[in-house]
Amino acid sequence: MSVDSILAAGAPPIVAILRGITPAEAVATAAVLVEAGIRLIEVPFNSPDPAASIAAIQAEFGDRALIGGGTVVTADLVDQLAATDARLMVTPNTDPELIARGMGLGLEPMPGFVTPTEAFAAIAAGARHLKLFPASALAPGYARALVEVLPRDVRLWAVGGTGPDTLAQWLSGPFAGIGVGGALYRPGQPAATTRANADALVDAWRSAGFAPSR
């Protein structure tokens, strides 16, 4: 399973970022996301006991969704993520050594970048899905200029300042998808609230005309 295969199957191009989630609430929260149609789920490593949450979500939903870890900033975290059997590795920065290490362990990298230099360093290391972060600090025109020089098989994702109200703005530009944190989930939030937020995101995606025809 990969980001491309998830999208090809018709799932919305939304990475759910569950920063701050605990193992006790991980499976219930992931369940409402999957029920809403979201198939890309990330637990940042600056959450409480993140490896346990990732492993629990992977065990329950790894056959239906691409599960991964975020804020992966050291080789040890790469190894911890690989040990969960999850397959998505999201980083806040571009570190070619970590990208290569992750890919060697079967992880699919989604590194964060801002500059063209960082983007090309990530691409040279093997990444094909790049996270522009923080996207809200940059006008969509910045990304449009970037894609003119990036390889055609590279896809950009907007993270930071994303939500149902801005989804159409990002996806109408050069972005393949978005990552959503606070507009979707906040620590301690009831699963029902997460489900309502997920539904709002998926409805915005469909209403904007981006969903494939059924």
Q: What are the residue numbers of the active site?
A: 42, 131
Which of 164, 205, 210 is CA-nearest to residue 183? 164
Token pair, residue 143, equals 């990304």
Token pair, residue 201, equals 């995101």
Q: Estimate to the nearest angstrom the gap between the alpha carbon of 165 and the chain centroid.
A: 18
- DSSP β-bridge partners for residue 156: 130, 175
Give the CA radius of gyration of the chain. 16
Q: d(Cα 91, Cα 200) in Å, to the nearest integer?
A: 26
DSSP single-letter state for residue 11? -
Q: d(Cα 169, Cα 203) in Å, to the nearest integer?
A: 15
Alpha-carbon distance values, 89 to 84, 93, 105, 150 (Å): 12, 12, 11, 21
SS3 158: strand
**DSSP assignment of 70-126:** E---SHHHHHHHHHTT--EEEESS--HHHHHHHHHTTPEEEEEE-SHHHHHHHHHHT
